[in-house]
Every structure is written in C-alpha cells, then in structure tokens.
Amino acid sequence: MKLNFSPKFLPFLQQNHQYSSGAFASLFSAKTRVPSSSNNSLFDRIQIVRDPRTSVVPALEQWVCEGRTVDKRQLRYLIRTMKDFKRFNHALQISQWMTDRRYLSLSSSDIALRLDLIHRVHGIEEAENYFNNVSNYLKTYNVYGALLSCYAQGKYVEKAEATMQKMRELDLATSSFPYNMLIKLYTETGDFDKIKNIVQEMDQKGIPQDKYTIKNQMAAHIATSDISGMERALNLAGNRFFVDWKLYSMMASGYLKLGSIEKALAMLKKMEGMIPYQKTNLAFEVLITLYASTGKKDELYRVWNTYKPSEEQINGPCASMITSLMKLDDLEGAEKVFEEWESRCTTYDFRVLNRLLVAYCRNSLFEKAEASANKAAHGRTPYASTWNILAVGYREHNQMPKAVEMLKKAISVGRQGWWPQPITLDACLDYLERQGDVSEMEDMIGLLKKLGPLNRDIYHRWLRTCVAAGGSVSEVIDQMKMDGFSADEETQEILETRPSL
C-alpha cells in the first residue's frame, strides 16, 4: 500500500505515556544523564537563553570558536533537555546545527526526534516534507512511529490507519507501541468497536499487552461506562504487572463517574498506600483531587495532614488542596491552607495565590481578592494570569471599570505571546467603546501592541471610539497601514459616520 502524505494536516506530536511504549517514548525524553565532564558550561550557556525568539546558535558557535569540543552525545542531551523544557525551537536549532555545522550523521532516533520538533515549531506540512525526504533505509520503526504519533494525536484516523498498514507491510509493527496509539485514538474518536480487533491482532502476532495497552483499554471502558470491562482490565494488569497508582486513580475516576463512591474509595485507599514511595508530588495531587470528588471532607483532610510534603515541594500540593477544598465549599479551609503555604514556602509561586483568587471571585469577595493580589505584588511582579483572574471576576459580575483596570494590569506584565481571554478583552473593549473613552482605549491598545500584532477588529473598535468622540482618526488609520491593514468596506462605513464639517 502506498502512502501519499498530504501537507494539509494539523495534528500535534506529543509524548504521551498513556499510549506509548517505554522503548519509543524514551526517544523523546531527557533520560540521558548529564555529561560527566567537569565543565558543563555549554549547557549553562544554552539554558540562560530564555527568549524563544533568540537563537542559541551563536552560543554554540562561540563555544567552538573558543577551541572547545562538543560531541554527538552532548548535543543529543541538549536537544532532549530543551524539548523537555518545552523549548522546542531551541531544541530544533541544536539538532539542525548538529548536522549543518558539525556534519554529524543522524540515527533513526535522531530523525524521529527532529520530525517531532519540526512539527512542533513549523507545523505538519514541514514535518511531512521532512519525512518524505528521509532516505528509505533510515525510515525505521522509530521514524514511522513518529509519523503515526502525528496522525494519532491529530485524530486523523484514515492517515493513522494507512501509516499503520505501511508499518505492517514493512514488518515494523512488531511492538505494542503502534497498537497502543491506535487504541487510544479509537477511544478518543469513539471508534470503540475497532479496539477489539486491534487487541486480537496483538494476540495473534504474539505481541504482549504492556501496561499502556491495558491503561488505554481501561480508558475505553471508562468512556463507555463499562464497569466489568474496567475490572477485567485491572485484574489483567494485576496478573501481569505491578499495578501503579495511575491505574488505581483511573479506576477511582471510573467509579466516581458511575456514582460508585464506595468502590472509588477502595481504589483511593490502594493508591494512598503508594504515596510514601513516590518521588514526585503528582500522585499526591491527584489523590487529594479525587478525594474531593468523593465529597468526603474528613478523608481529604486526613490525607492532607498525613502526606503533605516539605517546604521545598509544597507549591503544587497546596494549589491542588485549595482547589479541592473549594469544590467542597470550604473557603475557610482554603484560606488556612494558603496561609500555611505563605508561611512555609521558600519561593513565592503566584499559581498558588491564583487558586485562592479564583475562589474569592466566585464568591464575589473582590475586596479580599484585590487585597491579596496587592499584598503579594509588594516587592514582586505577579503573573499576568493573577490580574487576569480579577479581570474575569469583575467582568462576570458586570463591574466593567474594575475589569478594565485589572485587565490593563495583566497586559502590562504579560510576556510576548500571552494574550487575554477573548471574552474578557472583548467585553472591556466594548465597554470603552460604549463610553467613548478614547484615552482609555488608546492606553489599552498601546499595552496590547507590546504583546503582539493587533487584528482588524481591535483597530475598528478604536476607530469607532474616536469617531463617536469626535476626535482625530488619522493616527488609527496610520497604525492600521503600518500593520498591513488597508481600509476595507467596514472601515469606510465607520468613517462615513463622522459628522460633516
């Protein structure tokens, strides 16, 4: 079967441990150990380049110009580490520099990783073009697997199935990984009937079901509210593997979905027993979130007081606990957890404050919310999201002057690429337009321009405000031209509403 790879697809290739096998997933993770050299300053030089728009190539070139050496192992480590940091553009730059400037050959694993990065940075068309230009002898299991990931993540069933068929023909469908991707894809697209055939094919070929295969089948059973299927999957996992906390959390979620609280609690007890042995907080955060969903506040507090982590690891769990308590309408408890966090934290994380601000806004406690944000901002710079939460809260309660004020604060600290929620921004611009407040409108637009280019609709709002106030429109027209917007029919209609002199 011949595959014709169209450039018109927009899936996102992401590492997803829910459906990837460990062998393939390791290609996309920074599992490589830090090079043992005592001088790791190349990593330091790359790491400090925070702006994704700034190239890391000059740092690489400078390193070589200083007479220092760099080998493929070091570069692979940098690529995978930058990818894990979600610095995809920098990872791709290093990958391309590795071949373009150092003339190092690529393995199939390197090619699969570059395919992933090209897709993330430039889109599916460029990724497919890259795949089509790879020599056939290098199109191994890894590279076809990366392509299959693209289509599975984008939920392009026909393309994913065609790629899988090609892997069968090339005798590359020999592990659980491609089958796991299809099972997850079929779960997400509701093609549940196809899952049975995929599992049967694995059995016929003697391909063992790994823990991801079972997790994906369990997810399908949960999606179809099939309790017996869920329980069969758990028993199968228990007979073959060590059942980890993720499986128990999935079972608890499935039981909660079906209203089986007691069975959910039984799964949470099993999950709870694994908490002391976890190296990260993720399991604990999931656990308290699920306990909140059972409605058992006493159990939630018991787990929190038993397993809450030390000061160095407190940020994420406290944020999850605040949200969990708000789910149970326990604002007082949420405030106490926040106060405890403030007294213990070594690094102020505004994301914890944000959870409390959401709770205050939902309860119309705007004075408390604003006082908390202002206190935290003393000597610090809050995230744009912090002020944006207040803007959303004020907008939802139709307090538009305060919504505008908070939104301007959010935009003023927003980084390049951050953008307010459209519903909140539109509401604030609508309010300023109705008020005919040219000064405030220009302030808002001046701040927005620092975040990125404006669209025609924002310019038209500005233009209508100026016209309604009887002010000059020349600056608006000039700015539109500078940003590549010529006057269209709507622009002319707005201008025609100006009173004649």
Question: Nearest CA to 422 among 388, 453, 449, 394?
Answer: 388
Distance CA 70, CA 64 (A): 8
Query: Which candidate, 390, 388, 398, 336, places its Cα nearest to that of 365?
Result: 390
Sign of the Cα pseudo-torsion (249, 255, 260, 263, in order): negative
Angle between helices 245-257 and 261-272 (to 10 degrees): 170
pLDDT in tens, 85-97: 999 999 999 999 9
Roughly how many angstroms between the first and final C-alpha of the chain, as a whole number?
73
Distance CA 179, CA 201 (A): 9
| Joined tokens for residue 440 | 């405030």
Poorest-pLDDT segment among 7-21, 178-192, 376-390, 463-477: 7-21
Burial category of 168 from C-beta neighbours within 10 Å (exposed 0-12, middle 13-18, buried 19 and up):
middle
Using CB atoms within 10 Å of the CB of residue 415, give its burial: 0 to 12 exposed, 13 to 18 middle, 19+ buried: exposed
User: Who contacts 256 (Cβ-Cβ below 8 Å, separation ≥6)?
Assistant: 264, 290, 293, 294
Name the percent of the chain lying above pLDDT 70: 91
CA 248 to chain CA mean position, Å: 24
Specify the residue for token string 């990593």.
43
The CA distance from 331 to 335, in Å, is 6
Three-class SS of residue 266?
helix
Lowest mean pLDDT among 39-53, 259-273, 280-294: 39-53
Calculate Rg over the CA atoms of the chain. 27
If you average pLDDT over every residue of the chain, what do you get?
88
pLDDT band at 104; cut points 50, 70, 90 = confident
> 28: Cβ–Cβ under 8 A, 6 or more apart, which residues?
15, 80, 83, 112, 113, 116
Q: Which of 110-124, 159-173, 178-192, 285-299 has the lowest mean pLDDT?
A: 110-124
Higher pLDDT, 27 or 325: 325
What pLDDT digit, counting tens, does each position of 49-94 carry? 878 888 999 999 999 998 888 889 999 999 999 999 999 999 999 9
Structure-token pair, residue 230: 């869920």
- Name the pTM for this structure: 0.78
Q: Looking at the chain, how many residues does it have?
A: 501
**What gap in Å lies between CA 245 and CA 267, rounded to an integer?**
9
Measure CA 367 to chain center. Answer: 32
Q: In the structure encoding, which two tokens stand for residue 400, read together?
A: 């538009």
Query: Is the pLDDT score of 501 beyond 50?
Result: no
Q: Where are the alpha helices (DSSP H) in 193-272?
A: 193-205, 211-223, 227-240, 245-257, 261-272
Q: Is pLDDT at 34 greater than 90 in this prediction?
A: no
Q: What is the model's pLDDT at position 151?
A: 87
Among positive and negative, which fits the CA dihedral 323, 220, 273, 277? negative
Task: In whole angstroms, give the CA distance from residue 127 to residue 75.
Answer: 21
Confidence label for 418 from pLDDT (cuts 50, 70 and 90): confident
Distance between CA atoms of 282 and 280, rounded to whole angstroms? 6
Instruction: Find all residues with CB under 8 Å of 246, minimum gap 6, and list them.
Output: 215, 283
| Paired tokens of 72 | 């493929």
Provide the phi-psi class of 452: left if phi over 0, else alpha when psi is between -120 and 50, else beta.
left
